[in-house]
Amino acid sequence: MGEKDAYNEALGSGQYQKPGGLLGKYDNVRRFWEDEQLGLYLRPYLEPLVDRRVASDERINILDLGCGSGDGFELITAINRNDAGRAESETKLITEANLGIYQGIDMNDGLLSQAASIYRGMNQLQFTCADINDCRETTVRSYDLYLANYGTLSHNKDKATVNLLTNITRRAAVGSLIVIDWLGRFSYEWQTLWTDDYARHQWIDYVISYIYAGGQSSSVKLTHFPLRIMGRREVQNIYRRVRQQTGGKLRIRRIADRSSLVGRHMNTAQYNPHCPPLRLLVNSLFEPNRTTNLHDLIISYHPREEFTAVDAYYRNLTNAWNYLVRCTQTLLEGSGCPEIPSGTPSVVRQAVATIKRIVRATGSIKMGNPRANLVEPQLGYCLREIESGLQKGLGCGHGLVAIFEVVK
């Protein structure tokens, strides 16, 4: 009975569930691309904040708005210090020693129950069922880091978002950070919905069909709901309104695109019939002991040329993406890379140099499948670096990330 009880306890903790891998909420792209990319966007601003608080003998307090299952806690505590040496074992920015409180707020009882189960016994984590727009936590207590990730504020109308950010800005201490990601207006996933009519076309009729594998969604009745899609100018408009209401006490630090070609609905092609299943293919790159057909990663981009800046971004990104994939193919075949075009951005040149080193190294490594376990994961990371280096923060990703700082 003791053994049975022990295994039941492990199952009940939520920690016995397998990672998603190729499919599901916690697939490889989510873990190795999206969450890590958001952490890299945030790190230049979070690291000095943590250092200031620690130097003042203070701990970091976090408010996660729309926390769901507490995924924001895992995201934040996975961020490494920028200057961490390769020989160091303690590299995390947020640790048990410098964490004060992580307070999660959500309206979904089921997700909060899952969060409480996953983080059971961690007294620094607290979860409350409430509407983030009416929650007193935004007005009665100051936090160092406010999270509204995974499209949380895409559920809000702009007026509610302005009021929420105004309340936070007025209450938060100087130097506190606010991190938001909305659904991007110009994601390739829903190219058919692109429009410059910002006043009348603010929402997408969204459905979580990507969670079902192999076309199963066609046999399941799914609920549709509206989500706010945002471009750069719309984020800046909300920012200006908050500054007007707070006397300029908020500063925008960064706007960046995330998951431009690997968003959830690339696999479904539900909103754009030209979408190749790139998320599934990149999931395969990160999957251990699995070899991917790299030819399938080549993108045939279908432009909408009336959107000049957006189209230019996608052309540059797909050209760089395809060049790196072709280089990897030819290197694995024993040939050299195609000649690199003049004017190629440095981030692409660095990615090509990295892949060359990795492919060369596989010749001396004795392991079962060096292509699957060394080359392909590194290709995935290099593609992520290309996206991060070329993005313009136009709203061309599945997520449009905005990082704000509270100032005097």
**CA dist., res. 314 & res. 317, Å (int):** 5
- pLDDT for 10 beyond 50: no
The SS3 assignment for 138 reads helix
Q: pLDDT-derived band of residue 363, with 50, 70 and 90 as boundaries?
A: confident
Report yes or no: 390 and 320 within 8 Å, Cβ to Cβ.
Answer: yes
- Contacts for 245 with CB less than 8 Å, ≥ 6 apart: 162, 166
- pLDDT for 392 beyond 50: yes
- pLDDT for 219 beyond 60: no
CA torsion 50-53-58-60 (nearest 10°) is -30
In the predicted model, what is the mean pLDDT of residues 174-180?
A: 97
Alpha carbons within 13 angstroms on the beta-carbon side of residue 363 total 8
The SS3 assignment for 391 reads coil
Share of the chain above pLDDT 90, in %: 79
Average pLDDT of the chain?
Answer: 91
- Contacts for 32 with CB less than 8 Å, ≥ 6 apart: 286, 377, 380, 381, 384
pTM: 0.92
Q: pLDDT-derived band of residue 209, with 50, 70 and 90 as boundaries?
A: confident
Angle at 119 between CA 115 and CA 120, to 5 degrees: 110
Q: pLDDT-derived band of residue 24, with 50, 70 and 90 as boundaries?
A: confident
Going by the DSSP 8-state scheme, the letter that residue 192 receives in this structure is G
- pLDDT for 286 beyond 90: yes
| Whole-number pLDDT of residue 89 | 73
**In this predicted model, what pLDDT tens digit does every residue of 66-115 receive, in sequence order?**
999 999 999 999 999 998 776 677 899 999 999 999 999 999 999 999 99
Q: Which two tokens stand for residue 374?
A: 């060394």
Task: Please name every residue paired with 406 in a beta bridge, in sequence order, or none if there are none.
Answer: 250
- pLDDT for 16 beyond 50: no
Q: pLDDT-derived band of residue 20, with 50, 70 and 90 as boundaries?
A: low
**In this predicted model, what pLDDT tens digit does every residue of 59-78 receive, in sequence order?**
999 999 999 999 999 999 99
CA torsion 139-140-145-150 (nearest 10°) is -60
Q: pLDDT-derived band of residue 230, with 50, 70 and 90 as boundaries?
A: very high
Contacts 24+ apart (CB under 8 A), 309-314: 309/392, 309/394, 310/186, 310/194, 310/394, 310/396, 313/390, 313/391, 313/392, 313/394, 313/396, 314/188, 314/260, 314/396
- Domain spans in the chain, listed from the N-terminal domain onward: 18-261+394-406, 291-390
Report yes or no: 178 and 249 within 8 Å, Cβ to Cβ.
Answer: no
Ramachandran angles phi, psi of 348, nearest 5° = -75, -40
Record: fold of 18-261+394-406:
Rossmann fold (3.40.50)
**In this predicted model, what pLDDT tens digit does every residue of 129-176 receive, in sequence order?**
999 999 888 888 899 999 999 999 999 999 999 999 999 999 999 999
Share of the chain above pLDDT 70, in %: 93
Alpha carbons within 13 angstroms on the beta-carbon side of residue 154 total 26
